[in-house]
Each structure stands twice: as structure tokens, then as C-alpha cells.
């Protein structure tokens, strides 16, 4: 009994942080998630990126300008690592991407993941983590499917600080399933816009030499 | 003397591939030796640091705690056994006790954490007692809660980062629909504290209906007081379990000891293989130059000159191989550390491979000494060459 106790505390001690790097946003179970989101995929490649390494202060300024909002707080910083899952088809060509970002929510961190096709159009949207009184409504499939078919161009006119979209645009048509959770709804939209901008900076602008696909 | 080394170096360069392979063998063995000696020192220091950073030397928990801790993780804290808070007064009455920190840990299942939900644990601590146990905590933002019954929380850096919380933000306790306010973010400590959500003890007791209950009492013993004596007295308390941090340390070191013995055996084999390589290389070189050595001796070279020449060749091999190996071990210690952490069941924080100058010098000296020892036989064989037999091509 005592040995078990000692071993237990040894294991308790092992609940420690090896690395002092900032926390990124990884899929909890990449094998399962990739198979679920891309049923025909043959595999995936994981790429680790950060604004600091990819373009430094200049890139951060560009991202903030496109987002229409400053990166803020203790944890939204230039050195946050981003994990990009590049999905491969049977012929080993890239058929899509999965990318997630952390976003501050009303009661905790929100992790917003997007699965996109190879041109950057959203195939699937979901919260990997969300703490909210209206979590059930926000996590409903009805809410997530609204994002299907949207791309960065649809979010370009969305004003993050005010949380207002241009009337008549696809983003303006997105319905908040829980009016009491307006802050978390806005946080989700900010996360999607940031996610799409980062993907554009990390992947599409690079592969098209700065021209949008 | 320099002439001897110059000739020895030239001799080695005559067979570049063989010399390079021997150097690689010596380098690898010194790399392994330096890394293992560094691991031996680093692991213990890191473990000491981890245990010291816990702030207490003895932990009193409710009996059956290890099993119930597993329950806590799996079932969200249901069906746990707790110790009564009245134990605190009994512990405080012991003359060896300097400070105590009562704790109540409770975990709840959060269905919105991850795809299939996850656990969130809260540690209830006294606003006066616990901070005194952790004087090395520094705050990134805010500070400790003051009110023992406040609906407030202090977050370890990792917990705050995961929850994207800052001072003034709110958190929601899943299932209970209770809001708590973040009043402090602790700077990184590199320990398990980084992932902890601290709340006032009374608050955790009230929210989770565990008034008057504790899951543990951290005990700091007075300087110089006999810890063993205190432990003996605590063993007499009913339904509690005494966990001594010294015992935790010794258990971990014991668990590691067999693995270390095996690894040191591998290191010894690596050094032996390197020594065999040295013997082989130098002996081959001696045999190939048998006639040459005979001519040298016929021209007046004394056996001691030949002995010195061959030993110098061995020495150069060991010096270069050893230096490259130890330098490699020092430069790539972080990579070796990552690999070792991957295989170890438990590894403390901090540098577990600490190749100090003395460790580096010791490894280098051991490899050079072993190499020189293995060079004695080839040097003796070369020194014993009979000039006339050697020139005639006989006697190898």
C-alpha cells in the first residue's frame, strides 16, 4: 500500500511541464479527427508554425491589420505555435488543411478548428474546447454547418472590434444560436477570421507568391 | 617530445579511414560515458529541486488515497474518502511541525473540454498557510486571494494559458454553474504547480459539499527537527497515510537504479569496445610497420623510444576521440535529454543531463586512461621487436 502511495506521488510529480514554450492548439486525437473530417484521406503531415518564425513583427502587424484588431493579452502573442495538419489524398497530393486557434472566451479558452479544402474554403467548423453556459447551443451541428462553404473573402469585411458584419454578406447571415452568449459568438467569429488569415499567411500567400488563390 | 607526437600523428594519417573509424569509436564511447555521468548527476539534482519546490517534507493524505486519486481522475471526484479537518489541529500540536497547509482537491467532469469531455481539478488551499509554503512563487499578474471564502481563483501559468484567463476574467465551474473570478496568475515554475487552479479552501469545500473535509495536509518540519520521529507519530493517526518526500525521492531513485545499472553496463561495454578498437588499430599498425620498426631500432632507437612512439599514437587517438565525444555530449545534451525523457516513466523538471566541467573532465580522463591502458600491449610488442628478424620479415 505504502509503495503504491509513493509511486502515486512520483507520478503526481511527473505532471509537469517539460517545455516552457507557449501553448498552441493541437488536435486531441489527430488520427481520429483527420479520418472523421476527411474520410477519403490517405494520411496527413503535421507542420509547426509561428508568426515569429514565419515573418516576425512585420507579419504580426500585417495579420493584425487584416484582422482589424490587435493581438492582446498575456497569451495571444507573436510566439504562439500553430499546428497545421496538411491532409493528403490517395495520390499523396494535398486535399485540405486542418488548423485551430485559441481564443479568449467569456469563461475560458475556446479552441476553434477549421477543416478546409485545398483552396481555403471551410469544409467543417468545430469547437474542440469551449466553456460557456450556452456551450450546448454553440456546439450544435446546426451552428457549425453555417460556416461550410465560407472562405477568407467572406470575412474580410467583418469588423472584429464591433462584431458587426456588412449587411447582405455571408457572415451577416450567420445566426447566433444563443443570444445570451453573444460574447462567445463574437469570439468564435474572431477566431475563424484569425484562423483564415493565419492560414492565408502561412500557406496560400506563400504558395501563390502573395496572390490570393 | 614534440617530434614523437609529430611522427605519431603522421603514422596515424597514413591510414586515414582506419584512424577515423577508431576515433569515431572512442568518440562515441566518451559521448555515452559523459552523457550517463551527466544524467546521474542531473537527474538527482532535478529531483531534489522538484521535491524541495513542493514546499513540504511530509504529506498526510486520507488512507486509500492512491486508489481514490485514480477515481478522482476517472469519475470526477465521486465516492472519495477524505480526512477530517480536525486532524490539522493534531498535526499542528506536534513540536516538530513548523507549518501546515491543509488542501482539498476536487475534480469535475467538463463535457465541453475536448471532443469527449475532460477533467478539471481545483485545489482548495488556505490563503495564509499555502502561500507561506511556496514563497518562491512569483506572480505574472495579481496575487493571492485574501478572503478564505472568496469565489476567486489563482491560476498556474499553464492553466491560465490553456483557459486564456487573465486577472479580472471569470471562470465557470462546470456542472455547478458557479462563476469564480481570477485574481492571480503565477509565473512559470516548471513544476506541477503550473497546471493547477487554486481556490480558497473554504470555497472549494462549500461548492463541492465537502465542509470540514480535506484530501491532504502538507507539513513543513522545523529546521533540524527529526522528520522520522514525526512520521512515526503520524503513523499512529487513524485512517491517514503518511507520505514522506524523502521516501518519494528514494522510491524514484530505487526505480531508476536498476535502469541506471543496465545503462552503466552498456557504457562500460561501449568503453571496452572502444578499447578493443584501439588495441586493434595500433596493433595492426605495429604489425604493418614491423620492418620499419626494426630499421628504426637498428639505427639506434631504444625500446623505450619505440614504446613512447606507439603509446603517443594511442594517446593522440584517445585525446582527439575523447575530446570530440565529450564536446559532442555537451553540445547535444538537450537532444539526448529529449530522447531520454521519451523513454523514462518519470523525469523531473530542469536539466536531467547536467554535464558539468568536472563530469566532462572525468569522462575525458577515464576514456584517455582506458585508451592508454589498451595501448600498452601494442607498444610493448613494438618495443620488443628484434631488429634483424624484423628486417628479414620474420617474427610477426
What pLDDT, in 10s, does the model give residues B98-125? 999 999 988 888 887 776 777 888 999 9
Are B349 and A23 within 8 A, CB to CB? no
Domain assignment of residue B243, yes or no: no
- pLDDT at B252 > cutoff 50: yes
- Host H or E run for residue A124: strand A122-129
Compute CA distances A80 → A25, A26, A61, whole Å.
Answer: 9, 12, 15
Mutate to test the interface with A, among B59, B73, B103, B115 (most CBs of A within 10 A): B115
Min Cα separation B23/chain A (Å): 35
Min Cα separation A48/chain B (Å): 18
Coil/strand/helix, residue A43: strand
Can you tell me the ipTM of this complex?
Answer: 0.77
Q: What is the pLDDT of residue B80?
A: 60
Are A9 and B248 within 8 A, CB to CB? yes
- pLDDT at B174 > cutoff 60: yes
For residues B130 and B199, give the distance between their C-alpha atoms in angstroms, rounded to a whole number: 11
Q: What is the pLDDT of residue B2?
A: 65
Identify how many contiguous H helices and E strands chain B contains and give both numbers: 14, 12
> Do B87 and B135 fall into the same domain?
yes
> Do B32 and B77 fall into the same domain?
no
Q: Are B378 and B288 in contact (CB under 8 A)?
A: no
Q: Average per-residue pLDDT in chain B?
A: 85
Does the global pTM surpass 0.80? no
Coil/strand/helix, residue A30: helix
- Domain locations in chain A as residue ranges: 18-207
Residues of A whose CB is below 8 A from B113:
129, 131
Residue B85: partners with Cβ closer than 8 Å, 6 or more residues away: B102, B212, B213, B214
Query: In terms of CA atoms, which chain B residue is nearest residue A132?
Result: B172
Mutate to test the interface with A, among B112, B245, B246, B340 (most CBs of A within 10 A): B112
Residues of A whose CB is below 8 A from B59:
9
CA geometry: angle at A62 spanning A60 and A68, to 5°? 100
- Host H or E run for residue A53: helix A51-54
Residues of A whose CB is below 8 A from B114:
28, 128-129
% residues pLDDT > 70 (chain A): 85
Q: What is the pLDDT of residue A10?
A: 46
Residue B346: partners with Cβ closer than 8 Å, 6 or more residues away: A10, A11, A13, A14, B252, B255
For residues B281 and B283, give the distance between their C-alpha atoms in angstroms, rounded to a whole number: 6
Domain assignment of residue B59, yes or no: no
- pLDDT at B170 > cutoff 90: yes
> Do B344 and B288 fall into the same domain?
yes
Query: In terms of CA atoms, which chain B residue is nearest residue A140?
Result: B112
Q: What is the pLDDT of residue B151?
A: 96
Q: Considering CB atoms only, which of A28, A74, A131 is closest to B115?
A: A28
HSE-CB of A173 using CA atoms within 13 angstroms: 10
Residues of B whose CB is below 8 A from A12:
69, 192
Are A16 and B349 within 8 A, CB to CB? yes
Strand partners, B172: B179
- pLDDT at A78 > cutoff 80: yes
Q: What is the pLDDT of residue B294?
A: 87
For residues B43 and B227, give the distance between their C-alpha atoms in angstroms, rounded to a whole number: 24
Q: What is the pLDDT of residue B36?
A: 86
At residue B283, φ and ψ (nearest 5 deg) are -65, -40
- pLDDT at A201 > cutoff 60: yes
Are B188 and A17 within 8 A, CB to CB? yes
Q: Are B292 and B329 in contact (CB under 8 A)?
A: no
Are A17 and B165 within 8 A, CB to CB? no
Are B158 and A110 within 8 A, CB to CB? no
Cell of A52: 515569429
Cell of B118: 475532460
> Do B207 and B265 fall into the same domain?
no
Residues of A whose CB is below 8 A from B110:
131
- pLDDT at B228 > cutoff 50: yes
For residues B165 and B169, give the distance between their C-alpha atoms in angstroms, rounded to a whole number: 6
**Other CB atoms within 10 A of residue B127 CB:** 20
Q: What is the DSSP string of B277-288?
A: HHHHHHHHHHHH
How many Å separate Cα B22 from the centre of its chain? 31
At residue B286, φ and ψ (nearest 5 deg) are -65, -45
Q: What is the pLDDT of residue B69?
A: 52
Residues of A whose CB is below 8 A from B177:
133
For residues A151 and B130, give the distance between their C-alpha atoms in angstroms, rounded to a whole number: 50
Q: Considering CB atoms only, which of A4, A12, A108 is closest to B164?
A: A108
> Cell numbers 631488429 label which residue?
B387
Q: Do you know the residue count of chain A?
A: 213
Domain assignment of residue B396, yes or no: no
- Host H or E run for residue B304: helix B303-331
Structural domain boundaries, residue B194: 64-238
> Do B226 and B129 fall into the same domain?
yes
pLDDT tens string B304-361: 988 999 899 899 999 999 999 999 999 998 888 888 887 776 777 778 888 999 999 9
Q: Are A44 and A86 in contact (CB under 8 A)?
A: yes
* Of residues B235 and A197, more confidently modeled: A197
Mean pLDDT of A178-205: 94
- pLDDT at B384 > cutoff 70: yes
Domain assignment of residue B352, yes or no: yes
pLDDT tens string A82-132: 999 999 999 989 999 999 999 999 998 899 999 999 999 999 999 998 988
CA geometry: angle at B317 spanning B314 and B321, to 5°? 145
Domain assignment of residue B115, yes or no: yes
Domain assignment of residue B245, yes or no: no
Min Cα separation B215/chain A (Å): 14
Last residue of a domain, one of B238, B266, B283: B238
How big is the A-B interface in CB pairs under 8 Å? Answer: 124
> Number of structural domains, chain B?
2
For residues B114 and B129, give the distance between their C-alpha atoms in angstroms, rounded to a whole number: 34
Domain assignment of residue B382, yes or no: yes
- pLDDT at B41 > cutoff 60: yes
Amino acid at each position: 500500500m505504502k509503495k503504491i502511495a509513493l509511486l502515486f506521488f512520483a507520478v503526481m510529480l511527473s505532471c509537469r511541464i517539460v517545455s516552457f514554450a507557449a501553448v498552441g492548439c493541437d488536435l486531441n486525437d489527430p488520427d481520429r479527427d483527420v479520418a472523421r473530417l476527411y474520410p477519403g484521406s490517405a494520411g496527413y503531415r503535421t507542420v509547426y508554425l509561428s508568426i515569429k518564425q514565419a515573418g516576425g513583427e512585420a507579419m504580426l502587424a500585417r495579420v493584425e491589420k487584416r484582422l482589424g484588431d490587435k493581438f492582446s493579452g498575456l497569451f495571444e502573442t507573436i510566439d504562439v505555435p500553430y499546428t497545421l495538419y496538411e491532409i493528403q489524398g490517395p495520390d499523396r497530393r494535398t486535399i485540405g488543411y486542418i488548423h485551430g486557434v485559441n481564443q479568449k472566451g467569456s469563461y475560458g479558452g475556446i479552441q476553434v478548428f477549421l477543416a478546409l479544402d485545398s483552396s481555403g474554403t471551410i469544409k467543417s467548423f468545430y469547437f474542440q474546447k469551449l466553456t460557456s453556459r450556452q456551450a450546448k447551443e454553440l456546439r450544435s451541428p446546426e451552428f457549425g454547418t453555417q460556416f461550410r462553404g465560407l472562405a477568407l473573402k467572406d470575412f474580410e469585411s467583418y469588423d472584429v472590434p464591433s462584431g458587426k458584419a456588412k449587411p447582405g454578406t455571408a457572415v451577416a447571415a450567420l445566426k447566433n444560436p444563443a443570444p445570451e452568449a453573444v460574447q462567445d459568438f463574437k469570439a468564435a467569429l474572431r477566431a475563424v477570421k484569425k484562423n483564415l488569415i493565419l492560414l492565408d499567411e502561412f500557406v496560400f500567400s506563400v504558395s501563390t507568391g502573395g496572390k490570393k488563390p | 617530445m614534440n617530434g614523437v607526437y609529430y611522427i605519431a600523428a603522421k603514422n596515424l594519417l597514413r591510414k586515414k579511414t582506419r584512424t577515423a573509424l577508431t576515433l569515431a569509436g572512442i568518440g562515441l564511447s566518451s559521448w555515452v560515458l559523459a552523457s550517463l555521468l551527466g544524467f546521474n548527476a542531473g537527474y538527482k539534482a532535478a529531483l531534489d529541486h522538484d521535491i524541495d519546490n513542493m514546499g513540504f517534507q511530509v504529506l498526510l493524505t486520507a488512507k486509500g488515497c492512491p486508489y481514490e486519486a485514480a477515481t478522482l481522475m476517472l469519475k470526477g471526484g465521486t465516492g472519495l474518502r477524505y480526512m477530517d479537518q480536525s486532524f490539522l489541529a493534531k498535526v499542528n500540536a506536534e513540536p516538530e511541525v513548523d507549518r501546515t497547509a491543509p488542501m482539498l482537491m476536487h475534480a469535475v467532469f467538463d463535457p465541453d473540454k475536448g471532443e469527449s469531455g475532460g477533467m478539471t481539478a481545483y485545489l482548495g488551499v488556505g490563503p495564509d498557510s499555502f502561500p507561506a509554503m511556496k514563497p518562491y512563487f512569483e506572480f505574472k499578474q495579481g496575487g493571492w486571494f485574501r478572503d478564505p471564502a472568496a469565489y476567486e481563483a489563482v491560476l498556474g501559468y499553464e492553466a491560465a494559458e490553456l483557459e486564456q484567463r487573465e486577472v479580472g476574467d471569470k471562470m465557470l465551474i462546470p456542472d455547478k454553474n458557479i462563476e469564480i473570478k481570477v485574481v492571480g496568475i503565477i509565473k512559470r515554475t516548471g513544476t506541477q504547480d503550473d497546471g493547477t487552479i487554486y481556490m480558497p479552501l473554504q470555497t472549494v469545500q462549500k461548492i463541492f459539499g465537502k465542509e470540514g473535509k480535506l484530501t491532504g495536509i502538507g507539513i513543513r518540519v522545523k529546521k533540524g527537527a527529526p522528520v522520522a520521529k514525526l512520521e512515526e507519530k503520524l503513523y499512529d493517526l487513524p485512517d491517514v497515510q503518511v507520505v514522506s518526500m524523502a521516501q518519494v525521492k528514494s522510491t524514484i531513485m530505487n526505480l531508476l537504479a536498476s535502469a541506471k545499472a543496465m545503462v552503466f553496463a552498456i557504457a562500460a561495454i561501449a568503453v571496452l569496445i572502444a578499447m578493443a578498437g584501439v588495441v586493434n588499430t595500433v596493433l595492426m599498425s605495429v604489425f604493418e610497420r614491423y620492418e620499419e620498426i626494426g630499421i628504426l631500432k637498428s639505427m639506434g632507437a631504444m625500446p623505450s623510444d619505440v614504446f613512447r612512439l606507439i603509446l603517443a599514437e594511442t594517446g593522440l587517438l584517445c585525446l582527439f576521440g575523447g575530446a570530440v565525444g565529450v564536446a559532442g555530449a555537451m553540445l547535444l545534451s538537450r537532444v539526448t535529454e529529449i530522447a531520454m525523457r521519451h523513454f523514462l516513466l518519470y523525469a523531473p523538471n530542469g536539466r536531467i543531463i547536467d554535464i558539468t566541467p568536472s563530469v566532462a573532465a572525468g569522462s575525458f580522463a577515464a576514456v584517455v586512461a582506458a585508451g592508454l591502458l589498451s595501448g600498452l600491449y601494442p607498444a610493448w610488442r613494438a618495443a620488443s621487436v628484434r631488429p634483424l628478424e624484423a628486417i628479414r620479415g620474420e617474427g610477426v
